[in-house]
Amino acid sequence: MTGIRGWAKERPGRAGGRSVRPLAGVLAAVAVSLTGTRVSAVALPWFVLVTTGSATLTGLVAFCEMTPYVLVKAFTGPLVDRVGPRVVSWTTDLLSAAAVALVPLLHGLGTLPFWLLLVLVAVAGAARGPGDLAKEVMVPEAAERAGVPLERATGIAGVTERLGTTVGPAAGGALVAWTGPLAGLAVNAACFALGSLLIALALPRGMGGAVAGTGPAEGGARPGYRRRLAEGYAFLRGDRLLFTITVMVGITNLLDAGFMTVLVPVWARESGGGPGAIGLTGAVGGTAAVCGSLVAAVVAHRMPRRLVFFGGFLLAGAPRFVVLASGAPIWVVATVFAVGGFGGGFLNPILGAISFERVPRPLLGRVRALGDSIAWAGIPLGGVLMGAAVAWVGLTPVLLAGGGAYFCTTTLAGRRPEWREMDRDCRPRESEPFPAPTSSPRSGWRSRNSDNVR
């Protein structure tokens, strides 16, 4: 089986000179697709709320989008490693664009029943899962081609993601307030189409090919899909730090999903702020997160990861729930979201660096796919649970309970001993091969870290 040292010799383009084009192309595609997704995150819930008046149905739409996202992403890791992330990225983005574009088109024609809306958002979610994974997997190779240190590259990627999550809500809130939610969905479709073109045309054809170690094994037999999937699971389950992070982030993602897709829109409607308030909170939080990510890209490698990680979650988590429950004026809400965004800006660079450092490149697609899917597993339920809870007991009790759950999750998880590995060199040794699926669980690579694994 190919080890990391063998993989490094087999990768193309390592001696052919440096070029920033691949890294710029990947980051541009990430920025465009995330911007469109965040525009849709404002437009789609508002579209359902104003057409149905139901928080429960709003949560159901979020469930139907995110369940296929999680399930498809979980099982396409071996496919991304084998076919190549570049091909997977541009084809799935094109499919997402087509599915999203049909929503405003069919609604305008008067031929969009609610069940068909659920089908279309499910198709878009199923396509977006492997597309997001493929872009993530290309970051290490793009960094190598550009000659950029990995931790700095993940920091720049974090800034790019934050820019997308800043521009998206602001643009979405403005579009929905001025022209209605369907315009936001049309912009989302256009962003997916542009992202597909960027990956297909701007990235060199030699980039993002099938990963070494997924081809024919010894004796000429190609490793089967189940074996490749099992290799990814065996590594993730055996690395205690990665697995603990994944589970903790899975809980916070569930809470975040319900917060953004149901609680914030319901708060905006009940407070009278409307879609403009949704866009404002998203914009100020995202702008502060960009600043946090910029600081992280420059100095994060000199800072104690564990302290910064849990400090970021303390700022970015529970206070947002509490301030909405308090009935505070909009400027106070915006301030709390800004402080939380700044703290959250440090999380993605740390989590990205941890993942890329600890996972051998031949396993990267599979481990990231499984890890992301576990971390995202609660997201489809977040909107449904929050919507049902709001309909049952009202908005304020749900906000207070959600904030308490967020605080307890991040605080209690930090007491586990494996978190100490964040602050010392835990990179895998180049000569050490990744484990076969039949090997016993390991405590992680013995020789050395994403707002979350989102």
Residues 259, 39 contacting (CB under 8 angstroms): no
Residue 307 lies in a domain: yes
Q: Which candidate, 166, 171, 23, 193, places its Cα nearest to that of 95?
A: 193
pLDDT at 3: 35
Whether 11 has a pLDDT exceeding 50, the answer reads no
State which amino acid sits at residue 342. F
Q: Between residues 216 and 247, which one has the greater pLDDT?
A: 247
pLDDT tens digits, one per residue of 245-265? 888 888 998 999 889 888 998
Our count of domains for the chain comes to: 1
Residue 200 lies in a domain: yes
Query: Which residue bears the tokens 């490793």?
Result: 223
Residues 161, 450 contacting (CB under 8 angstroms): no
Continuous segment of H or E residues that includes residue 3: none
Q: Which residues contact 217 (CB under 8 A, 6 or more apart)?
A: 1, 223
Q: Which candidate, 206, 160, 153, places its Cα nearest to that of 20?
A: 153
CA distance 361 to 138: 10
Q: Which candidate, 423, 450, 428, 453, places its Cα nearest to that of 363?
A: 428
Residue 432 lies in a domain: no
The percent of residues above 90 in pLDDT, for the chain, comes to 17
Tokens representing residue 26 in the block: 């990947």
HSE (CB half, 13 Å, CA atoms) of 446? 4
Q: Which residues contact 410 (CB under 8 A, 6 or more apart)?
A: 248, 252, 310, 313, 314, 317
Residue 142 lies in a domain: yes
Tokens representing residue 359 in the block: 């996972």
| Domain of residue 311, residue span | 20-214+225-423
Torsion of CA 450, 3, 89, 60, to 10 degrees: -50
Residue 120 lies in a domain: yes
pLDDT at 405: 92
CA distances from 414 to 207, 360, 422, 446 (A): 38, 26, 11, 21
pLDDT tens digits, one per residue of 342-396? 888 788 777 777 777 787 767 777 787 778 778 877 877 888 888 889 989 999 9
Whether 434 has a pLDDT exceeding 70, the answer reads no
pLDDT tens digits, one per residue of 166-189? 777 777 778 888 888 888 889 889
Q: Between residues 390 and 446, which one has the greater pLDDT?
A: 390
* Domain of residue 229, CATH code: 1.20.1250.20
Query: pTM (2 decimals)?
Result: 0.62
Residues 319, 339 contacting (CB under 8 angstroms): yes
138 φ, ψ (degrees, to nearest 5): -80, -10
Residue 403 lies in a domain: yes
Residue 445 lies in a domain: no
pLDDT category at 5 given cuts 50, 70, 90 is very low
Longest dimension (CA), the chain: 69
Residue 451 lies in a domain: no
Average pLDDT, the chain: 77
Q: Between residues 426 and 95, which one has the greater pLDDT?
A: 95
